[in-house]
Amino acid sequence: MLVLVANLGSTSFKYRLYDMADERCLARGAVDRIGEQKSKCTATIGDWSDERTMAIPDHGVAVEACLAQLTDPEHGAIKEASEVAAIGFKAVHGGRLSGVFRIDDDVLDAMAEMNAAAPAHNPPYIAAMKAMRARFDLPLVAAFETNFHQTIPTARKEYAIPRKLADELHIRKWGFHGASHRFIATRSAELLGRSDARVISCHLGGSSSLTAIKDGQSVMTTMGMTPQTGLPQNNRVGDFDPFALPLIIEQTGMTLDETLAYLASQGGLLGLSGRSGDIRDLREAAAQGDENCKMALDVFVEEIRRHLGGMMVALGGVDAIVFTAGIGENDDEIRSAVCANLEEFGIVVDTEANANLRGEACFHATNSGTQLWVIPTNEEIVVARQTVAVLQQN
């Protein structure tokens, strides 16, 4: 069975094509600048790479362009588009729907109800899903990021707000990055040789979150009602006191919508540093004496450590801490800073192993009571597996 996994942005479409018989990735590609006259469509199929520039007005046309590359007579991964059994989407927020579903009108309506909570994610997904439903006669499946966190105990997912609001508007700590944390739960169990391990998954990238995992299930996470919360993101503010909003509005003259848009695009590491939301830029500037960039790095690390400590208490100890995503996989200094001075808790870093680490590997010292790992995430294969499971149920 061949499954195409889609990861969408407002003007982008990224995909991977999997043969689910052995979970091989047959091809990967992307379309950038959707809606412009010179959209770029790239693909990698085996040793062959292709790049085309064309006008791609919407996501439906983007899929058609990608299928044209996938069915290239000489280099393609498949002979015809009908070989694809389904398209799986790494969807973000379904509110009242949190799971894996065939896409129908009710799924689209549920996503639309959460547009205000996920304005950067849900609208482009809804538009793309509608376009693809109209163009392609094959199953479309939405695997919501919130699904993995449904096992979090009630006391850790409720806000202290009136029950009427919470129940009627589906306001709770939903959690996100579910596909990534689910992959880490599965892979760490394989590496540790046990399914009952207490694991803290640190997904650190342009968007970051931590999740505490016990018996393969999520029991605590840092993101809440929306992907805007939790750790400071590259340009999203993270946790923030909502009662500061009236002061900002009063003193700046911005509307509520303008204020929220400003905090969602100019906050986070970018806002703290006044320079960049990219860790690499911040580190270079901090080395040259930029105190704001150093502060941004320090705040990021301290917030990770604050949540790490809470999760260690919630788990009653920790067997492994896993770092993943762009920063977690590639930045040894962040990993070292997060784990610094925790020897009394049984967390000891092998400094040399951490500095020289590439790909999937451990970096704990021989006397460390907690294993420390870098595991490259694979959100797409999780969505592909969930898509197959839905197809097999029907």
pLDDT for 130-139, tens place per residue? Answer: 888 887 788 9
Supply the pLDDT for residue 10: 62
- Annotation-wise, does 379 bind a ligand? yes
In the chain, what percentage of residues exceed pLDDT 70? 99
- Annotation-wise, does 326 bind a ligand? yes
- Annotation-wise, does 279 bind a ligand? yes
Residue 218 pairs in a beta bridge with: 213
Q: What is the pLDDT of residues 264-281, one digit of tens each?
A: 889 999 999 999 999 999
Domains and CATH numbers, the chain: 2-144 (3.30.420.40), 194-374 (3.30.420.40)
- Annotation-wise, does 7 bind a ligand? yes
Q: What is d(CA 356, CA 246) in angstroms, rounded to the nearest whole number?
A: 48
- Annotation-wise, does 328 bind a ligand? yes
What is the sign of the dihedral through the CA atoms of 335, 340, 344 and 345?
negative
Supply the pLDDT for residue 138: 87
337: buried, middle or exposed (CB in 10 Å: 19+, 13-18, 0-12)? middle
Tell me which long-range contacts 309-316 makes (C-beta under 8 A, separation of at least 24): 310/220, 311/200, 311/210, 311/212, 311/220, 312/200, 312/345, 314/156, 314/212, 314/219, 314/220, 315/198, 315/200, 315/212, 315/214, 315/219, 316/198
- Annotation-wise, does 14 bind a ligand? yes
Whether pTM exceeds 0.75? yes
- Annotation-wise, does 47 bind a ligand? no
When pLDDT is averaged across residues 183-204 and rounded to a whole number, the result is 97
Supply the pLDDT for residue 394: 66
Quote the mean pLDDT of the chain: 93
Supply the pLDDT for residue 337: 98
Supply the pLDDT for residue 137: 82
3-state secondary structure of 355: helix
